[in-house]
Amino acid sequence: MTFIPWLVFIVICIVLLISITEFIRGKRVYVKFELRDSKFSRELFLALILIYLIVIIGFGLVYFILSLQGIVLVENGELRQVSVIGSMIHSLYFSGVTLLTIGYGDITPLGIGRFIALLQALIGYVLPTAFVMKLFESRERSRDK
């Protein structure tokens, strides 16, 4: 039974990494976004928000699955027993705070959750850089035409 959460975690990580790298390369993942010349790109902004939401929900599900297996998130230094809905809310909240690199410190992961949180924080740092690079690349392409 402990094999299933690891399999889900590995599949989610692979899907996220492939999606992000394909978007950076400019390949069509599901929807191709055409960027404007030098104006604020509404499409790029919506894509950034969508990818952030997908990553937050994906990692939130990983934390939730781990909490069902006994690897929990500690709140304010105390190990609390919460309901399934409470655990899901804590997992999504922690995922959002970690990805956005806010890190309030009110919820702390235990065990392998620390490594997963580190990986998620790294993604939170890299995503904005990837989108800025994508914006400049598309501007250069449109200038060359």
pLDDT 10s digits, 78-122: 777 778 888 899 899 999 999 988 888 888 888 888 899 999 999
Mean pLDDT score across all residues of the chain:
78
Asked if 99 and 59 touch (Cβ cutoff 8 Å), the reply is yes
- CA nearest to 128, candidates 110, 106, 101, 90: 101
Going 131 to 135 to 137 to 138, the CA torsion angle's sign is positive
Q: What is the pLDDT of residue 133?
A: 82
3-22+42-139 folds as Helix Hairpins (1.10.287)
Kindly report, residue by residue over 9-62, the tens digit of the pLDDT. Answer: 677 777 777 777 776 676 554 444 454 444 556 777 788 888 899 999 999 999
Q: What is the pLDDT of residue 97?
A: 93
Helices 42-68, 112-144: axis angle to 10 degrees equals 170
